Amino acid sequence: MNAPNKPANEFKIGNIKATVWRNENEGSIRYNVTLSRSYRDAEHWRTSDSFGRDDLLVVAKLADQAHTWICSQGRDSRLDVSSNGSASQRPEVATAAVAANRERLLRAAP
């Protein structure tokens, strides 16, 4: 049986958590984020991916923190495969999508 995939990083504010997952596929690294809210139902702790009005600013803050961390990792970095078959991340190789997204965010900023 395969060991469960461990998160690359987690950010938490109160009972809301953003979990960052690292995925390697065909020589590139991609990151995905899941958001969850913990709550107590009688005597058991449960999680939900549904958020109320008062949770939304916290969700936005956590999404911003996850985005900042992912961008610092080199979001779509290519892998450099050495002669022994091991892969190492080359963050200096960035995609045009990262640059375009950064440019879009800078234009949208107040």
User: Taking Cα atoms as reference points, which of 75, 98, 85 lies closest to residue 20?
Assistant: 75
Q: What is the pLDDT of residues 90-100, one digit of tens each?
A: 443 344 555 55
Please list the residues that pair with 11 across neighbouring strands.
18
Could you give the number of structural domains in the chain? 1
Tell me the percentage of the chain whose pLDDT exceeds 70: 65
Listed range (2-6, 74-78, 98-102) with the worst mean pLDDT: 74-78
| Cβ–Cβ < 8 Å for 34, 25 | no
Whether the pLDDT of residue 2 is over 70: the answer is no
Residue pointed to by tokens 């809210």: 37
pTM confidence score: 0.64
Question: 98-107 contacts: CB < 8 A, separation 24 or more?
Answer: 98/71, 98/74, 102/71
List pLDDT tens digits, range 29-68.
999 999 999 999 999 999 999 999 999 999 999 999 999 9
63 within a domain of the structure (yes/no): yes
Residue type, 37: R
Provide the pairing of β-strand 44-48 with 28-41.
antiparallel
Range of the domain at 81: 9-108
Lowest mean pLDDT among 11-25, 36-50, 74-88: 74-88
Q: Is residue 1 part of a domain?
A: no
